[in-house]
Structure 1
Amino acid sequence: MTDAAAQAPVPGPWGPRSTAGAMAAAEAASRAAAMPPGWTEAGGPPPPTGWVNPAIAMPQPPNTAAMTFTGLGGSLFGLLTMGFLLQLVTLGLYRFWLITDVRRFYWSHTMVGAEAIGYTGRGLELFKGFLIALAILVPLKAGAFFLALGLPQADMVISIALFLILIFLGQFAAYAGRRYRLARTAWRGLRLRMTGSAWAYAAKAFGLSLIVIATLGLALPWTTAYLERIKMRETWYGDVQGDFTGEPFQLFKSGIIIWAIGFGLPLVMVYQALSGTPSGFFEALWHDARQGDFSPRGPIAVAFIALTGAIVLSGVIAVLLFPAFQAVLFRWRMSGTRLGGASLVSNLTIGRSYRVYGLGMLAAMGCMMVFSLSLTIVLGGLAYTFSTFGSASGTGIAAMVFIVLAYLLSFGAFWIFKQVFIDLRLHRARVNSIAVLGIAALDGVAARNVDASAMGDSLGDAVDIGIGF
């Protein structure tokens, strides 16, 4: 404090006094409040029995903030229903604005303590990004198509190469899309941002995915930790840098049982089925398929059924264990996330994850059955009316229109029910399980914002990776 500031007058109970005098008076009052009754700074009698220093008894300022989600299913249902109908009217063009509205709904109802998160993205940005993504993907797929026509003997190689390229672009889209969403996310008036190269990340992620495949998934904890560390160290909130400190072996220990049941057991089943196949099984199966005969007989049929059953059962086991894996991965990922001096922790349990999926699926299926029955009655009545009073040609056209309309409405209803009963409940369970430790470290953050393109978000949708919202 400068001498001038120390001498500046401030209001006092008996008129103006200096800042230094005010600070001295405040310190004296604080010391007096911390003394037992009858004491002065010079000393005094022993304190009364049971007396507690108020400076010690006073609770310390909280440095932990719980995250909560306040969004209601009814509000999301209305938003999705209106958005779906507008998509039908605009032939799907409204989807970019719908994605923006849905994100704004989720963001604005996600609270960190008493402060909500904001989303500033626009549908037009996603639409422009989609056009850029099409300019990349359309020539790529068209080139692969015409190349396959010119080299039919290399059709399999071309298809595999195109698939690998799309996987690589999907990794690029995952990074670029995350960068766009962070740049449009604001909290306490400051936006987050993300630096780094999406192409470099895509190359690393693509190579690590091959390692995961080669190790039958056992390397997933190490590759995931490495990629999370890359993303978080390029994540900024103002001038505060993020980090990821999750231990791969901790995820390995938590997920090894899930891997053993979901992958190891199916692998053993498939191996047993393959070991029981007669010699020449695949040659005979390939020969029959080339001849157009897909009905194997004798020992070949038995082996085919055993192998198919093992593969299908493996898929069923993997689907049933997916909620458990999601809960373990989410809890581990949150516990390793750092942003400056603040950190996250989650208590999401496997049981909670199963309850969300189980109850959500039951509710969605029940609503879907009621909707399908109502739709059948309404469209059936309309079809009967047209067939009774309309011409034969008009009846055929009306039937086609009803079939297309029934398909679109059924698909839309399933999508809406899934969002309301599963996705919304899962988001609420995840957010409500998170606490921010050391949140006071984010009080003095300074703004340092950069812009980001929406091309990554739209590219992810275009290659059908599903990294939108």
Structure 2
Amino acid sequence: MAMQQGPGRPVPVAFTGTRRELGGLLLRGYILLLPTIGLYRFWLNTWRRRFYWAHTEIDGDSLEYTGDAMQLLLGFLMALVVFVPLYALLFYLSTLPRQTALIGYGGIAVMLWFLVGYALYRARDFRLSRTLWRGIRFDQTGNGWAYALRRFGWSLLMLASLGLVYPFMAASLWRYRYEHSWYGDLRFAFVGSWRQLAGQYYLTYGAVVIMAGIGLVLGLAMGAWPDHGHVAPLALLPLAIAALLIGMLALRYQARQLSALYSGVRLGTAVLTLRIKAGALIWQYGLCGLALLGAMALLALGGFVVLGLVAPEAFAGGGFDLEIFVSQMQGSVLSLAAIIAGYLLVLAAYSLVTELFIGLGYWKLIANGASIAGLNGLSGVRARGEDRALAGEGLAAALHVEAY
């Protein structure tokens, strides 16, 4: 845990939750999603946030989440007012000539990308305004449309520069968010800079380009390019190794970036310090990958057992006859139900495993890697009222960009 000398005694941040607790909560939520036609997701998200907040302690006092599921549901229904006409427009475009339709689809994609920025900012406002520590509420001001425009402009520069402006973009967006964040009547500040990111980013960028080039050249030399529809399996090995190394480099940079940016956050006399070890972050992703492989293997085994019961003739003689299997599956309500159930189980298993290892692991690394000095200076902070706006969180839910 990082400890940095600052104003006053540094105090730790701790996360006390376990995978077992979160796993039980998620399983209950997934079971209730089906009979409620997915509406229970808003209750599941609320309970999940309360779990994360309640198990995050700063100087012995935990955070508190005061949002409720009905707020999330109402926000989502408000967002549908925007998306219903959009779906109608998509249907209309599908009836037009291909070139016209492609232009229309492109325009809608650009609009949605812009809306994502607005939704992310307003959703963060929703979460902060419903987060308390020691009875004082957090909040976010600023303009969601201004943030969306800033993010959209930076994304265009990212495309034009092939990603070279990323350190400037990350620092700029981070600064806007935190300089419009509040704890009671005290505003946050951000003293970080793109200079803290540039060195590591450009080293990582160069290493990624080199590794991708080497993997591509070796793969092509070994026969990765399709030759009359045939690809040598061994030729994919250099590409796989390159992808794995690139992923590890990206996670290493992410750990450095998060440590630098969070350590630039100030709140009055309070100084936040964060240190995330790259190996710990990589390990979480590795565990997630292994858990996913195990879960999918178990589901595949269960799927074969169920299919053997639904279409036993296809497995007669110890083999598998695809033609018989397809003929038996056609027109069978039981078979259709098995396919739907299998799809939902795969989706639920993926969501469960990624939340338990990536979501929980990410939160835990940040909480347990942080310390704060100068908390005594916050004793005079006064509370402010709750921001009751719902639209931003609902839009984030509709665009599937919610956080925790």
Same fold (TM over 0.5): yes
Q: Following TM superposition, by how much is the alpha carbon of 1:148 offset from its aligned partner in structure 2, in angstroms?
A: 5.2
Contact 2:12 2:370 in 1 (8 A): yes
Unaligned runs of 5+ in 1: 1-60, 277-294, 303-307
Q: Following TM superposition, by how much is the alpha carbon of 1:457 offset from its aligned partner in structure 2, in angstroms?
A: 2.2
Question: Which residue of structure 1 lines up, in the alignment, with residue 73 of structure 2?
Answer: 127
Distance 1:396 1:168 in 2: 44
Q: Following TM superposition, by how much is the alpha carbon of 1:396 offset from its aligned partner in structure 2, in angstroms?
A: 2.1
Contact 2:29 2:41 in 1 (8 A): yes
Rate the CA distance shift 1:193–1:396 in 2: closer, same or farther, 3 A.
Answer: same
Q: Which of the residues 443, 449, 464 maps onto 2:385?
A: 449
Amino acid at match of 2:283: R
Question: Which residue of structure 2 lines up, in the alignment, with residue 29 of structure 1?
Answer: none
Percent identity over the alignment?
34
Question: Which residue of structure 2 lines up, in the alignment, with residue 331 of structure 1?
Answer: 259
1:184-225 CA distance string (max 9 Å, x none): 101000110111110111111101111122111111111111
Question: Is residue 467 from structure 1 mapped to residue 402 from structure 2 by the alignment?
Answer: yes
1:44-95 CA distance string (max 9 Å, x none): xxxxxxxxxxxxxxxxx96211111000111111100010010011110110
Q: Following TM superposition, by how much is the alpha carbon of 1:155 offset from its aligned partner in structure 2, in angstroms?
A: 2.1
Q: Which of the residues 363, 366, 371 maps onto 1:435?
A: 371
Distance 1:73 1:174 in 2: 27
Q: Following TM superposition, by how much is the alpha carbon of 1:404 offset from its aligned partner in structure 2, in angstroms?
A: 1.3
Q: Following TM superposition, by how much is the alpha carbon of 1:109 offset from its aligned partner in structure 2, in angstroms?
A: 0.3
Q: Which of the residues 425, 428, 443 maps onto 2:361?
A: 425
Q: Following TM superposition, by how much is the alpha carbon of 1:440 offset from its aligned partner in structure 2, in angstroms?
A: 1.4
> Which secondary structure state, in structure 1, belongs to the residue aligned with residue 95 of structure 2?
helix
The structure having more radius of gyration, on CA atoms, is 1
TM-score by length of 1: 0.73
TM-score by length of 2: 0.84
Q: Following TM superposition, by how much is the alpha carbon of 1:147 offset from its aligned partner in structure 2, in angstroms?
A: 4.0
Rate the CA distance shift 1:313–1:163 in 2: closer, same or farther, 3 A.
Answer: farther
Amino acid at match of 1:176: R
Distance 1:208 1:202 in 2: 10
Question: Which residue of structure 2 lines up, in the alignment, with residue 219 of structure 1?
Answer: 165
Question: Which residue of structure 1 lines up, in the alignment, with residue 36 of structure 2?
Answer: 90
Distance 2:292 2:349 in 1: 9
> Equivalent residues in 2 for 1:39-118 (5 A)?
63-118=9-64
Q: Following TM superposition, by how much is the alpha carbon of 1:414 offset from its aligned partner in structure 2, in angstroms?
A: 2.2
Question: Is residue 258 from structure 1 mapped to residue 204 from structure 2 by the alignment?
Answer: yes
Distance 2:292 2:107 in 1: 38
Amino acid at match of 2:371: A
Contact 1:195 1:235 in 2 (8 A): yes
1:151-189 CA distance string (max 9 Å, x none): 543222212111110000000001000000000101000
Distance 1:168 1:207 in 2: 9
> Which secondary structure state, in structure 1, belongs to the residue aligned with residue 332 of structure 2?
helix
Distance 2:369 2:214 in 1: 36
Rate the CA distance shift 1:460–1:264 in 2: closer, same or farther, 3 A.
Answer: farther
Rate the CA distance shift 1:458–1:372 in 2: closer, same or farther, 3 A.
Answer: farther
1:24-61 CA distance string (max 9 Å, x none): xxxxxxxxxxxxxxxxxxxxxxxxxxxxxxxxxxxxx9
C-alpha RMSD over aligned residues: 3.4
Name which structure has the greater RCO, CA cutoff 8 Å, separation 6+. 2
Aligned pairs, how many? 379
Distance 1:320 1:149 in 2: 45
Q: Following TM superposition, by how much is the alpha carbon of 1:135 offset from its aligned partner in structure 2, in angstroms?
A: 0.9
Distance 1:124 1:269 in 2: 50
Contact 1:343 1:437 in 2 (8 A): yes
Distance 1:128 1:311 in 2: 46
Q: Following TM superposition, by how much is the alpha carbon of 1:362 offset from its aligned partner in structure 2, in angstroms?
A: 1.8
> Which secondary structure state, in structure 1, belongs to the residue aligned with residue 13 of structure 2?
strand
Contact 2:211 2:246 in 1 (8 A): no
> Which secondary structure state, in structure 1, belongs to the residue aligned with residue 182 of structure 2?
strand
Question: Which residue of structure 2 lines up, in the alignment, with residue 20 of structure 1?
Answer: none
Which is worse superposed, 310-319 or 191-200?
Answer: 310-319
Q: Following TM superposition, by how much is the alpha carbon of 1:455 offset from its aligned partner in structure 2, in angstroms?
A: 2.2
Which is worse superposed, 129-138 or 358-367?
Answer: 358-367
